[in-house]
Chain A
């Protein structure tokens, strides 16, 4: 497979996967760091289903999942990315795959597992898209079939990354947390308010959801008040500009 074709096309997509494209070295480095942390987290082999959450919408969840999945795939890990954001499914667009024959179709027995798994153009990365729209997502998320499906996924893949709706908007995270090992919480730097983050984390903790860590998206080192990150990212930032 060729990671380096259609570079311009990839960047023109709404949610871009930056691996295999030129530039964005700082961001690539950050994704690799996040991937390494996830690898470390799943080192014992049990913690491999990770739910990506955020407080509100538009916090780059889908972009983050896609790029971390590609980074894990490039490290030789078999990764499955699943779109469980039933109301705003976007993962298929990021991987440029048509949103047909998805998990909703599989859950109602319309398609087989072979039809459900979509090979992406990235090494070791498999997509499970949403598929047909549904009205009541909790029926699927609480079914025995999805629990069994996740058991199977665990044996088939090294890591399973789940794209979820925002915590403060939709309560699906409670059901999804029953399927996952932990939550990676994303915060849009300079956008998500502290009170929104506090409310979302409180909600997760009230429901005994295991938060494995957090990551800032849209991070701007020039605006940051962090003593330690500023200088190193400043260098990368300027490098990007030059490119």
Chain B
């Protein structure tokens, strides 16, 4: 009978993989070449470098009640820092930023898309990350947002703070002084080369797994325990046709 176990199971050892790679070296080279070419076109042509700059500040959280315990302090500081997080992306702040950076002709949406406000878990540090197409704009944007956030939090009306809960709460501001560029074209090339390698192996493996005919005499012999007596190639006619 057919060796059912062998018929169902189809393992692939490291040797098999190496052999398949050796046999399909041209396919691997072509896929890697195409991948590198795509990476080069993207890395040197299409892709634009973006710069990001960080500005940070500490939110001072003081409990308003003398009887507050630790848990209430925690809740209050949590509430305060999240209020600040939302306040920074509110119209009150963004309008001020837009006005300040009018020379760059940025829309509100562009500003909002360029900045990310995050809070550090279990601390009162507020981080404003700004992304832009050039180094200076990224730094300016991050610092302006932080400045205008503080300015908006301390706005007064009739001698009183408009946002009493936020007034004078931003301290220890650390302005951005440099921006980091996104990954360079060389990195894109390396990544595309690796991707090409992975994709080509993927193609080879899929080809191997969906193969439903015998690819070696050993496979047949193992499956049926019948000796293969000969491997008969096709007839080559003079013109090169096969029969």
Contacts and interface: CB of A to CB of B under 8 A. Distances in A.
A224 B228 CA distance: 14
Interface string A197-218: 1100110010000010111111
> For chain B, what secondary structure do more than half of its interface residues adopt (helix, strand, loop), or is it mixed?
mixed
For chain B, which range describes its interface: under 10, 10 to 19, 20 to 34, or 35 or more residues? 35 or more
Contact of B216 (A194, A218, A226): A226
Contact of A227 (B1, B7, B19, B232): B19
Contacts, number: 135
A16 interface: yes
Interface in A21-44: 23-24, 26-27, 30-31, 33-34, 37-38
Interface in B210-233: 212-220, 223-224, 226-233
Given A11-B237, A194-B213, A219 B232 contact: yes
Contacts of A226: 215-218
A221 B231 CA distance: 9
B232 A60 contact: yes
Contact of B212 (A27, A194, A205): A194
B16 interface: yes
B121 interface: no
Contacts of A237: 233
B206 interface: no
A194 B235 contact: no
Nearest to B2: A198
For chain A, which range describes its interface: under 10, 10 to 19, 20 to 34, or 35 or more residues? 35 or more
A76 B1 CA distance: 37
B109 interface: no
Contacts of B220: 187, 197, 214, 216
A86 interface: no
A214 B227 contact: yes
A194 B235 CA distance: 24
B216 A215 contact: no
A192 B216 contact: no
26 contacts: A8-B238, A16-B237, A18-B235, A23-B236, A30-B231, A193-B213, A194-B7, A194-B214, A195-B212, A197-B220, A201-B226, A205-B1, A214-B227, A214-B229, A217-B232, A218-B242, A220-B233, A221-B231, A221-B233, A225-B19, A225-B20, A225-B215, A226-B218, A227-B15, A228-B218, A243-B236
A18 B233 CA distance: 12
Contacts of A177: none
A215 B213 contact: no
A233 interface: yes
Contacts of A214: 220, 224, 226-229
Contacts of A240: 233, 236
> For chain A, what secondary structure do more than half of its interface residues adopt (helix, strand, loop), or is it mixed?
mixed
B81 to A, nearest CB: 62
A98 interface: no
A27 B235 contact: yes
A139 to B, nearest CB: 31
B217 A229 contact: yes
Contacts of A18: 235
Contacts of A63: 235, 243
Contact of B229 (A33, A201, A220): A33
B234 interface: yes
B233 A219 contact: yes
A118 B54 CA distance: 96
A33 B233 CA distance: 13
A229 B228 CA distance: 12
B183 interface: no
A26 B231 CA distance: 10
A37 B229 contact: yes
Nearest to B213: A190
Given A194-B7, A194-B213, A225 B236 contact: no
A38 B229 CA distance: 9
A210 B144 CA distance: 89
A11 B234 CA distance: 13
A219 B231 contact: yes
Contacts of B218: 226-228
A237 to B, nearest CB: 7
A185 interface: yes
A64 B232 contact: yes
A193 B238 contact: no
A23 B147 CA distance: 87
Interface in A156-213: 184-185, 187, 189-195, 197-198, 201-202, 205, 211, 213
